[in-house]
Amino acid sequence: MQYSVVDATDRGHARSDDRSIAGAGIGLRHCHLEQVLRERPPVPWLELLADNHLAAGGLEHAGLEAISVRYPLTLHCVGMNLAGCDPLDHKYLRQIIQLRERTGAAWVSDHLCFTAHNRRHYHELLPFPYTEEALRHVSERVLAVQDLLQAPLVVENVSAYLRFADSSLSEAEFLAALTHATDCELLLDLNNLYVNHVNHGDDVDAYLAALPLARVREVHLAGHAVKPGYLLDAHNDRVSPPVWALFRRLVQALPEVPVLIEWDNDIPALPVLLAEAERARTERATALAARTSAAGVAADGRTQTAESVSPC
Amino acid sequence: MLSQRQRQRQRQSQSQSQSQRPSLAEIQRRLAAAIDDPAAAEHLAPWLAASAPGPQQASPSALERVAIYRDSSRRARERTLEAIYPVCRQILGPRCFARLAADYIDAFASRQGNLNRYGAAFAYHLAAVQSHQPALATLAYLPDLARLEWHWHAIYYAADAPPLDAAALAQLARPEQAARVRLRLSSALRRLASAYPIAAIWLRHREGAGIVHIAAGDGDRLVIHRRDGRPQVTPVTPAVFKLLAALGRPSTQAATLRSTWSPTLGELAAAGYDLTPLPDCIAAGWISGCTLGEPG
């Protein structure tokens, strides 16, 4: 694949500032990179799964350079091992910083989990007990990462299939305390929230009430797989109706929050992903219009008609 | 509603957590061990919360939930091996490959967050299995084929190394200085020697050719190099192969300094290396730098 040089309409290499990340974007995967460069679909921003782009050189670099001058970008990581007890991997973090410099990504996110122990990497987002000890530990590591990034880290809630008897905090309380201790920001994955609601009976109202919504920098939407007795956060399907309902509810509180469609397994044709992003745009618009309409009705002294916000 | 057994476990968990709460590191050690070995999950179980009373019927047990992570973690590594070794998989068949991959995952932990680095020892693993599996021993060339696929994969992601311009070399050194010149091999180059015609075997499988006869010949000496972003496999003569090996092996002084510069051309000539293929190596883009200085 050959990549052409930047044309006059391109963005140049300026960093995507926070304001340039707006509306409904998609997670860019390798299989769509060439098509996105060729067809330049009108998606407002893209998110790179950073761990897929750690090549030292080659076509990878040329492709990302071409993408980064055409679209505002963010970086999403899975390897910082934020809750892990191994030392932070500075080589990995340097690679992420270099990738951010090369792509001008607006921000960097990773997950509230551990991924490695005793130098064995599991390539999974593994849960841990939400305790005061863990909060101090994760806070120190987030602060260290932020020192290196010279920017706030954006931390994502995860789907968890295990819970620990020792946990003294809910995930939302833990994230709230983490933002307080580190000034980090949040990536709220609504599919993860829904999966945990189904798998563990988590109270969505309590979760959203405990989370400092003002710190939510980005929202993720994805599909899940229905397994016998549980939901699997498989990122292999369209966003499910209950997750759309959660999104409509969230935008009442965060009308401008950037939202991203994630799809990592059984990846469909690019138009399917773009259609999901377009649906996110219309779902937001519809929800906000309903809010305005309801407010108008309420102002008239008649019955409030806002949509029910129950996700299930 | 929690079952009697679940309530018993919850009480047991709460009791234990109050009396001997494990550290964060200990919990992580136990979960990691449970992913590596299903039998180790019992050491984690006392610290897990009881299965949730979600709306789903027949929620999985705590140990079944550990298995969700185990399966997903192993599948990520298995998919990586499938992506790196497609020809080996084609030859072995999906079931046999999956079994070998599972054994590899058991034997070789992933030591980096970057999954693209996982699987480097698969050729070694295949050779070890062959030594006690007669059925696989008939595919004697398989470990070398795996080495070729690994080099192809690694070269794709290697650092950029702009090829040395022959004119720059001429400008750097006058003819009488040639003996002092040191060269640097491209970082996007690997060499591979095999007693089998692995390049032909690899190519025929990638092309999806049917059954074809491939002459055993004298084996292969191959250069795997990335040019214009694409890895290429080039057969070379023994003399070229030997020269590239020497260029990639720093002189004693350079090695001490962790330099990637070759011995001087004078040193190589004195050691009996045939330097006549050098212009062709430069033209092929296999050399990425030259210097007259000391290694450093």
* Residue A46 Cα distances to A13, A220, A290, B215, angstroms: 15, 12, 28, 50
Burial of A44 (0-12, 13-18, 19+ CB in 10 A): middle
Taking contacts as CB-CB distances below 8 angstroms, the residues of chain A near B81 are none
CB contact under 8 A, A200 and B54: yes
- Does the residue B45 lie in any domain? yes
CB contact under 8 A, B60 and A229: yes
- Does the residue B69 lie in any domain? no
Q: How confident is the model at residue B31 (pLDDT cuts 50, 70, 90)?
A: very high
The pair of structure tokens assigned to B177 is 């200085």
pLDDT per residue as tens digits for the range A280-307? 999 999 999 987 776 655 544 443 333 3
- Does the residue B217 lie in any domain? yes
Residues B283 and B182 in one domain: yes
Q: Torsion-angle region of residue B217: left (phi > 0), alpha (psi -120 to 50) or beta?
A: left
- Does the residue A288 lie in any domain? yes
| Measured distance CA(A275)–CA(A294) in Å, rounded | 28
| Measured distance CA(B106)–CA(B39) in Å, rounded | 14
Taking contacts as CB-CB distances below 8 angstroms, the residues of chain A near B17 are 165-166
- Does the residue B284 lie in any domain? yes
- pLDDT > 70? residue A6: no
pLDDT of residue B168: 77
CB contact under 8 A, A118 and B54: no
Residues B127 and B167 in one domain: no
Residues B182 and B253 in one domain: yes
The pair of structure tokens assigned to A224 is 């899940």
Taking contacts as CB-CB distances below 8 angstroms, the residues of chain B near A131 are 24
- pLDDT > 60? residue A51: yes
Residues B177 and B250 in one domain: yes
Residues B198 and B269 in one domain: yes
Q: Chain A interface, mutation test: which of B7, B9, B24, most A Cβ atoms within 10 Å?
A: B24
CB contact under 8 A, B68 and A81: no
pLDDT of residue B258: 64
CB contact under 8 A, A78 and B113: yes
- pLDDT > 90? residue B147: yes
Handedness of CA A183, A188, A193, A196 (dihedral sign): negative
- Does the residue B122 lie in any domain? yes
Q: Chain A interface, mutation test: which of B68, B106, B230, B288, most A Cβ atoms within 10 Å?
A: B68
Enter the ipTM. Answer: 0.89
* Residue A180 Cα distances to A130, A245, B183, angstroms: 15, 29, 55
- Does the residue B208 lie in any domain? yes
pLDDT of residue A305: 34
- Does the residue A81 lie in any domain? yes
Taking contacts as CB-CB distances below 8 angstroms, the residues of chain B near A122 are 32, 35, 69, 73, 110
pLDDT of residue A68: 95
Q: How confident is the model at residue B173 (pLDDT cuts 50, 70, 90)?
A: low
Amino acid in the structure at residue A27: G
Rounded to a whole number, what is the distance in Å from the CA of A98 to chain B's nearest CA?
14
Q: Which domain holds residue A195?
A: 18-299
Average pLDDT in the A202-227 region?
96
Domain count for chain B, please give it: 3
Question: Rounded to two decimals, what is the model's pTM?
Answer: 0.87
- Does the residue B255 lie in any domain? yes
Rounded to a whole number, what is the distance in Å from the CA of B139 to chain A's nearest CA?
31
CB contact under 8 A, B59 and A116: no
Q: In 10 A of CB A141, how many CB atoms? A: 19
Query: Minimal Cα distance from A161: which residue of B?
Result: B65
- pLDDT > 60? residue B8: no
- pLDDT > 60? residue A261: yes
**Hey, which of A85-99, B200-214, B280-294 has the most confident mean pLDDT?**
A85-99
Burial of A253 (0-12, 13-18, 19+ CB in 10 A): exposed
pLDDT of residue B249: 83
Buried b (16+ CB within 10 A) or exposed e, B221-257: bbbbbbbebebebeebeeebbbbbebbbebbeebeee
Domain count for chain A, please give it: 1
Query: Minimal Cα distance from B63: which residue of A?
Result: A162
Residues B133 and B159 in one domain: no
* Residue B78 Cα distances to B68, B75, B84, angstroms: 15, 5, 10
- pLDDT > 60? residue A2: no
Q: How confident is the model at residue B150 (pLDDT cuts 50, 70, 90)?
A: very high
Average pLDDT in the A195-215 region?
95
Strand order in the sheet with B189-194: B189-194, B220-227, B230-235
Q: How confident is the model at residue A8 (pLDDT cuts 50, 70, 90)?
A: very low
| Measured distance CA(B123)–CA(B146) in Å, rounded | 5
- pLDDT > 50? residue B121: yes
- Does the residue A11 lie in any domain? no
- Does the residue B147 lie in any domain? no
CB contact under 8 A, A163 and B54: no
Average pLDDT in the A129-147 region?
98
**Beta-bridge mates of residue A47:** A27, A74
Across the interface, of A57, A81, A231, the residue whose CB is closest to B159 is: A57
CATH number at residue A188: 3.20.20.150
Residues B105 and B236 in one domain: no
| Measured distance CA(B194)–CA(B6) in Å, rounded | 59
Averaged pLDDT of chain B? 86
Taking contacts as CB-CB distances below 8 angstroms, the residues of chain A near B230 are 59
CB contact under 8 A, A58 and B113: no
Q: Which domain holds residue B53?
A: 1-59
Residues B11 and B117 in one domain: no
Apex B25 CA angle, B20 and B28, nearest 5: 100
Average pLDDT in the B249-268 region?
76
Comparing CA positions, the residue from A86, A126, A109, A76 lying closest to residue A262 is: A76
Residues B118 and B233 in one domain: no
Give the lowest-confidence range in A260-269, B5-14, B274-283. Answer: B5-14
CB contact under 8 A, A51 and B60: no
| Cα within 13 Å of Cα(A192), Cβ side | 20
- Residue A164 carries which DSSP code? B
| Measured distance CA(A239)–CA(B218) in Å, rounded | 57
Across the interface, of B54, B111, B229, the residue whose CB is closest to A119 is: B111
Average pLDDT in the B70-80 region?
97
Note the residue count of chain A. Answer: 312
Residues B192 and B264 in one domain: yes
- pLDDT > 80? residue B171: no
Q: In 10 A of CB A200, how many CB atoms? A: 21
- Does the residue A234 lie in any domain? yes
Give the lowest-confidence range in A17-31, A106-120, B26-40, B64-78. Answer: A17-31
Handedness of CA A160, A107, A96, A25 (dihedral sign): positive
Residues B132 and B163 in one domain: no
